[in-house]
Amino acid sequence: MNGNPVSEVFKIDCKEFMKSFKDNQFDLCIADPWYGIGMTKNDTTGFAAKRFRVTAGINDEAPDRETFEEIRRISKNQIIWGGNYFLDYLGNCRAPIIWDKGTGANYFADGEMAWTSFKTGCLRIIHHQWCGCFKDSERNDPVIHPCQKPIFVYKWLLEKHAKKGMTIYDPFLGSGSSRIAAWDLGYDFYATEIDPVHFENEENRFYQYRNSQLFAQDELLECQKSLEFRETLGAVKE
């Protein structure tokens, strides 16, 4: 064992995937479903159509009630982005999370809301600018999904709401930012992504990131070994 966490993604419909698991299989589900607000189909700016492939019959369709029931059945707690669109399915929320995107005065939303299942706590706000080329992170990284969120936001969620040893599930993986965050923080992670294009793009993004991190770790170990050798050699000479 190399000590790295489990990180597995399945190209399958999340509802079908979830039905194979027992109650409370996962400790925490972090989901970012399509909100069903016509982001790609009714895109007046043409941004999504030009930059991202839209798979007919898959993208931009909000999940049904059964999907949310399965999410809540197989996980002990849930954080669901866009929860304000699904309150009829999810119910009241004691500890919502607001992501302030620092968009300024334009047609973009000022932020996004996440519904949570936590019975204690209060409203929390994440301040992290994410608007076009104005970003607090990942400025030079490619955008591979129309609803891509920064890795920083998912790390914030995990640092605040997950504990060592927990297993995380993301039913709508999208760009894979949640996967990278879980990998960096050492959480076992499982996810589903039904869209074949998004699946492929996410896989490429994750493995490029993971391999770069592993390479950096190997380089650091080699440097440490070299330093230890030099220190030992110096002691022998003395």
> Domain extents for the chain?
7-237
Q: How confident is the model at residue 44 (pLDDT cuts 50, 70, 90)?
A: very low
Q: Is the pLDDT of residue 1 over 50?
A: no
What is the residue type of 47? F
Q: Which amino acid is it at 103?
A: T
pLDDT at 226: 54
Residue 76 buriedness (CB in 10 A; 0-12 / 13-18 / 19+): middle
What angle is formed at CA 155 by the lines to CA 153 and CA 159, rounded to 5 degrees? 120
Q: Are strands 130-131 and 111-116 parallel, antiparallel or unpaired?
A: unpaired
pLDDT category, 57, cuts 50, 70, 90? very low
The string of pLDDT tens digits covering residues 138-159 is 999 999 998 999 999 999 999 9
pLDDT for 236 beyond 70:
no
pLDDT surpasses 50 at 215: yes
Please report, as a single letter, which amino acid is at residue 96. P
Going by the DSSP 8-state scheme, the letter that residue 27 receives in this structure is E
Crossing angle (nearest 10°) for helices 177-185 and 196-237: 30
d(C-alpha 205, C-alpha 216), whole Å: 17
pLDDT for residue 59: 55
Residue with tokens 């993301």: 170
pTM for the full model? 0.84
Residue at token pair 């950096």 = 216
* 3-class secondary-structure state, position 98: strand
Across 14-23, 34-43, 175-184, least confident range: 34-43
Q: Higher confidence at residue 1 or residue 101?
A: 101
Measure the CA–CA gap between 65 and 75, rounded to whole angstroms.
16
As a whole number of angstroms, the distance between CA 113 and CA 99 comes to 6
Mean pLDDT value across residues 192-201: 94
- Residue predicted with more confidence, 58 or 152: 152
214 — pLDDT class (breaks 50, 70, 90): confident
Could you give the percent of the chain with pLDDT greater than 90? 71
Among residues 34, 17, 35, the alpha carbon closest in space to that of 75 is found at 17
Partners of 75 in beta bridges: 26
Q: What is the mean pLDDT of residues 110-115?
A: 96
Taking a C-beta distance cutoff of 8 angstroms, is the pair 56, 31 a contact?
no
Q: In angstroms, what CA-CA distances link 206 with 174, 179, 212?
A: 12, 8, 10
**CATH architecture type of domain 7-237:** 3-Layer(aba) Sandwich (3.40)
Whole-angstrom Cα distance, residue 37 to residue 122? 27
Judged against a pLDDT cut of 90, whether residue 54 lies above it is answered with: no
Closest C-alpha among 155, 166, 165, 151 to residue 202: 151
Run of H or E residues at 70: helix 65-74
pLDDT at residue 56, rounded to an integer: 42
Mean pLDDT of the chain: 87
The average pLDDT across 20-41 equals 88
Condensed to tens digits (0 to 9), the pLDDT of residues 171-181 reads 999 999 999 99
Cα–chain center distance at 71: 16
